[in-house]
């Protein structure tokens, strides 16, 4: 699909993001500049922001590592959420339950290691 851009003589072309699969209409010049910045891969504006943010949070990470990390998240999303939203919901609930179980075990272990004072007398009246 070609769209004529009024600001230049270049024609916009539809291109697919190498991370998330979203299609965008971009000029060849813009596509080349993005590919130059991201090791030959074309990524959409949203994925670009995520990769840059990840590199800011982890200064020791290379651009390849940040892109690999984000691409794995996109692949996971595309293989579950987009294909089968019900399965994705079930997986999310399972993960929440696992996290809750782990935190409960951790809390129980912490509570058992602390000394407790047990009740020595009944609170019930002896006249009953």
Q: Where are the domains of the chain?
A: 3-101
- List of E strands, 1-128: 3-4, 11-16, 23-26
Buried-exposed string 17-34: b where 16+ CB fall within 10 A, e elsewhere: bbbbeeebebbeeeeeeb
pLDDT at residue 68 is higher than 80? yes
Identify whether the C-beta of residue 17 lies closer than 8 Å to the C-beta of residue 43: yes
pTM for the full predicted model: 0.57
Tell me: pLDDT of 69 over 60.
Answer: yes
Query: How big is the chain, counted in residues?
Result: 128
Whether 20 has a pLDDT exceeding 70, the answer reads: yes
- Is 19 within 8 Å of 74 (Cβ atoms)? yes
């Amino acid at each position: 699909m070609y769209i004529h851009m009024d600001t230049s003589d270049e024609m916009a072309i539809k291109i697919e993001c190498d991370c998330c699969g979203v299609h965008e209409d971009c000029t060849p010049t813009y596509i080349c500049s993005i590919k130059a910045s991201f090791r030959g891969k074309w990524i959409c504006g949203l994925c670009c922001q995520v990769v840059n943010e990840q590199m800011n949070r982890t200064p020791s990470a290379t651009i390849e590592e940040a892109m690999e990390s984000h691409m794995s998240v996109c692949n996971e999303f595309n293989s579950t959420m987009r294909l089968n939203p019900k399965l994705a919901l079930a997986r999310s609930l399972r993960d929440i339950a696992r996290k809750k179980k782990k935190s409960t075990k951790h809390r129980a272990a912490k509570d058992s290691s602390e000394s407790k004072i047990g009740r020595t007398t009944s609170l019930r009246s002896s006249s009953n």
